[in-house]
Amino acid sequence: MSLNAFITETDIEGDGDGVLDGKTVAVKDNISTEGVPTTCGSRMLEDYEPPYDATVVERLTDAGATIVGKANMDEFGMGTTTETSYFGPTKNPVDEDHVPGGSSGGSAAAVAGGEADLALGSDTGGSVRAPAAFCGVVGIKPTYGLVSRYGLVAYANSLEQIGPIAPTVEEAAELLDVIAGPDENDGTTRAEGADSDYAGAAEGDVDGLTVGVPRELLDGADERVVDRFEAALDDLRAQGAETVDVELPSCEYAVAAYYVIAMSEASSNLARFDGVRYGNSGGFDGNWNETFAESRSEGFGDEVKRRVLLGTYALSAGYHDKYYKQAQEARAWVKQDFDEVFEDVDVVASPTMPVLPPELGESLDDPVQMYLADANTTPVNLANLPAISVPAGEADGLPVGLQLVGPKFGEETIVNAAAAVEA
């Protein structure tokens, strides 16, 4: 079975005998590995080899893990299917005619297909949780600031976090224990997580747990997905949890706000890839403007170009207040809604993805539909909250994921609840 889960195969052995001794790990190809290509799934960085390891990579090897490859991904993390990669699409190991989700599709496919024990992905708007749901594994998007982003090639700095993907909740939590905690190289990290025991929280004791269900995140979802979601809620209630309907009215605007903010930040971050500072050069013929344009035209794929153009437009004079400023106001509203909901509930539950995994090629001609598929995941990134996707069964032979969202630094709560779903 050739899943095309890896861009580069490696054999980076751990130098310790820690909790990951003997475990193999796939690392998403936007996370820096010293002397090993880190391409971000792009022709632009096809030959780039970082001179240093990301903090999370150092923590993996210190814990004894062996890194077996750099996992395929949507180009620069821009996609929900892992089909925008310059190195070709990754296939879903559950059904090779379907996408594995994205943008960390290679990471999830490697774990689900048995090509790695564990994996790291990055999550800007759902890029760990979407492929975890589509491939039938577990993925955690940590609270913003829990895990160092030092060495992560930036897409949208204010939104993204590195997160674990694993076959089980406990294994995902164990990997989170390894990578969490403050880092002097990343000023956004916080002290929370330094002495964590997330794996120990995977007890599945939900007696008395209150689960909020925002019906806004069920509107328009595939009925087969909703059926599996409701069955998972029934299981939680049978184990002693209470479910209550809650309201998150701001979620109606979350996707639009997310894409304005993410594309704007991408426009700024990707400006450095001009063939001179970073990236493959289109050649210099004496005209810098033409050289930059040629390098970026050849180096970036269609989806990256689309997002950079839209982000540049949103930040341009005369449009900044109309788009970017309003998107930030909507983001504040999303945060406020979640804060109010968490005054009354312990976790918020929804389907991770509102649809089943599409067939390969189905989403490429309709980027708007691909963006809308992020409706349940993007609010979490806007609010900088933790969330986990845990398998909730299958529909028509394809995996369905349940998403559990917690308050800031509430990873132990969502890990515990997810363990109950898994059990």
d(CA 44, CA 41): 9
Pairing of strands 347-351, 242-246: unpaired
Catalytic residue among 42, 107, 127, 267: 127
d(CA 413, CA 204): 10
388 neighbors 140 (Cβ within 8 angstroms): yes
**Cα–Cα distances in Å, from 297 out to 44, 154, 281?**
9, 20, 10
111 neighbors 140 (Cβ within 8 angstroms): no
Catalytic residue among 23, 28, 70, 91: 28
Pairing of strands 138-141, 387-395: antiparallel
d(CA 355, CA 191): 37
Phi, psi at 119, each rounded to 5°: -155, 155
**Pair of tokens at residue 15:** 């130098």
Pairing of strands 66-71, 6-12: antiparallel
- Whether 2 is catalytic is no
**Cα–Cα distances in Å, from 400 out to 162, 257, 271, 391?**
22, 26, 37, 6
The residue length of the chain stands at: 423
d(CA 53, CA 161): 17
Beta bridge partners of 164: 120
DSSP 263-326: HHHHHHHGGGBSSSSBS-----SS-HHHHHHHHHHHHS-HHHHHHHHHHHHHHSTTTIIIIIIH
User: Does residue 121 sit in helix, strand or coil?
Assistant: strand
- Whether 350 is catalytic is no
d(CA 189, CA 313): 31
Where b means 16+ CB within 10 Å and e means fewer, 21-47 reads: eebbbbbbbbbbbeebbbbbbbbbbbe
Where b means 16+ CB within 10 Å and e means fewer, 293-331 reads: ebbbeebbbebbbebbebbbebbeeeeeeebbebbbebb
Q: In this structure, what DSSP letter does residue 185 have?
A: T
Catalytic residue among 32, 42, 85, 103: 103
- Which residues belong to the active site? 28, 103, 127
